[in-house]
Chain A
Amino acid sequence: MADTLQAQAPSAGRRREPRKPMSPREKQNMRRGLLFLTPWAIGFLVFIAYPLVYSIIISFTSYTGMNHAKFIGWDNYKSLFTDPLVGQSIGNTLFYAVLAVPIGLVVSVLLALAMNRNVKEVAWYRTALYVPSLVPVFAMSFIFVVLVNPQYGIVNKVIEAFGGGNVNYLAEPTSAKVVIVVMAQLGAGNAALIFLAGLNNIPQTLYEAARIDGANPWQSFTKITLPLLTPAILFNLITGISGGLQVFTQAYIMTGGGPDNGTLFYMYYLYKNAFSYAQLGFASAMAVALFLFGMLLALLVFWVTRRFVNYDASAA
């Protein structure tokens, strides 16, 4: 299997080749490629590069958003290491991401498989499984508080059945984070939809061929489905990391960062600094740090997984 996968790795632009002058054909392709990138390039310059440069500049100043920014050198970056809440918020965020990203991947693959079952009324199941992803977080946080109610909440009823229960999970810093992880799974429909699209890309003929070769469903899953789902897995992994590192809304609406700063996530602390504490310079330094860390992590994941990601279904 590994052999075939490596052999299938698309060659274009993936191998280091010595730089040589471009042929007219290559030049034409380049022009065309760049032409198609125009909307993105404009958007990148206006909505990404400009705010990013702005934040980098602001991150070296003391700035409330209203006054004149005062240059203070590396002070904001030094504060990243001395402010204990930065450390705590990083800890909370990593705790969340380390749990939420892998759990999210597994749950959403399972959902996608369910959404892809070959039954007549599948549209209903798909809709049911996707509905929680449609509920605005504002409303969802109200619902979730009821679901985890120690007395009559359904989550607690289930836990009671396993011998636990009657605990206010939102009152303790660690379990409050776990609650937010669990709540995020109700929104797994989004990632599942991407996997569903991926599943639909896999030619049915492969499965038929496998069945004839006597492969059992598990073998079909691990040898056909998973490898051919890798582009979608890579996508959901990287965007999952991005979402995990920037988790914000649930804490903002549901727990306000408590108890005892247990759900004070990095993004939430950043936001508070920017818009509640008027520490825009410091918030910008936090943002630049997150941006650099996230980008490096994404590139690392991209680079490590490139040999496993299989874009070529027809060669399988």
Chain B
Amino acid sequence: MATLTEQPGGPSPSPIDPAAARENAQRVLRRKKITAGIGKRIFLVVISVIFLIPLLWMLSTALKSTGDLSKVPPPIIPQHWAWSNFKEVFKQLPFGTFYLNSFWITLLTTIGSVASNFIVAYGFSCIEWRGRDKVFYLVLGTLFLPFPITLIPMFDMFARLHWINTYLPLVVPAFLGSAFFTFLLRQFLLQIPRDNLDAARIDGASEWRILWQIVAPMARPALGAVAIFSAVGAWNDFLGPLIYLQDNAHMTLSIGIQSFQQANGNVPYNLLMAGSLMIILPLVILFFIFQRYFIRGITMGSFK
């Protein structure tokens, strides 16, 4: 193990001509790279396809006409491409309103989660103070508080505050930290070399400034994960909007889509899947854009 820490450029163990050996090695490396590239890709494509099966099935169902739907087994490729199903969803449900409501809730929740949990996690990791880890055990413990039990006291409280049928019960808690995200960020912030922070402190930087200017760029992948999780969580949340948002004008996508389930259990599959696809589409695009944050760009210790 100790050898691993040795720096590159050490004495070469090879007794043969160094120049020839280098060239030879490069050729081998190049050939390896090409084959590895293909091997890598085959594997990646295969598992990607496996994970895309649900989505492909959604798409094929969303494009099926009622006639295609009633075939057993269902045809994988629709025989009549019923693009009108997407229009039909908008016709049957006020999807525009749903989108807007979900958008606001998701946006505010995400901002709140990232900001509050980052600040709290900083307090749990980048500043050293007595009793810190013991307080952190409390955070861990709260991961195990079953949600059904918080529903009633929380609802009573929000009702007394006259917050029912507003976004506040869904959004405000996000600004006050969550055990899951605090724990997640703490795990990453603890990995930031102490020396960087101490150097900045000696230079007279305030903790607040260290937080945003030094730690935040280094914690980008973790912050990205928090942003994605809280956005997806808020977008797909079911129980919260169900009980806190009462009227149609405030209804979100995740509740609205359930309206396709009729009282006697019948479901128009094609519309349900067309609607579901439209629900996840913004998330897919968002993820595609934000996955850039998960790159190895920021090497530890490159910051002063």
Contacts and interface: CB of A to CB of B under 8 A. Distances in A.
Instruction: Establish whether A and B are touching in the complex (CB under 8 Å).
Output: yes
Interface of A: 1, 4, 10, 12-14, 22, 26, 29-30, 32-37, 39-40, 42-44, 46-48, 50-52, 54-55, 65, 111, 114-117, 119, 123-140, 142-144, 146-147, 151-152, 154, 186, 189-190, 193-194, 196-206, 208-210, 212-213, 215, 223-224, 231-232, 234-235, 238-239, 242, 245-246, 267, 270-271, 274-275, 280, 283-284, 286-287, 290-291, 293-295, 298-299, 302, 311-314, 316
Contacts of A193: 225, 228-229, 294
B153 A235 contact: no
B10 interface: yes
Contacts of B55: 131-132, 135
22 contacts: A29-B128, A33-B124, A43-B177, A44-B177, A48-B150, A51-B150, A111-B47, A128-B49, A132-B55, A134-B283, A136-B276, A146-B74, A194-B225, A197-B294, A200-B294, A200-B295, A203-B301, A205-B299, A286-B146, A311-B187, A312-B193, A314-B301
B191 to A, nearest CB: 5
Contacts of B132: 13, 33
A129 B57 CA distance: 15
Interface string B191-230: 1010000000000000100000000000001101100110
Interface residues of B, number: 107
Interface in B230-253: 232, 236, 238
A270 to B, nearest CB: 6
Contacts of A46: 157, 176
A33 B136 CA distance: 12
A83 to B, nearest CB: 17
Given A39-B120, A40-B120, A312 B191 contact: yes
B129 A34 contact: yes
Interface in B139-166: 139-154, 157
B4 A224 contact: yes
Given A33-B129, A35-B123, A204-B299, A239 B183 contact: yes
Contact of B148 (A22, A132, A223, A274): A274
A65 B40 contact: no
A283 B148 contact: yes
Contacts of B273: 139, 142
B225 A298 contact: no
Nearest to B54: A143
A36 B122 contact: yes
B229 A190 contact: yes
B28 interface: no
Contacts of A22: 130
A239 B143 contact: yes
B148 A270 contact: yes
B236 A136 contact: yes
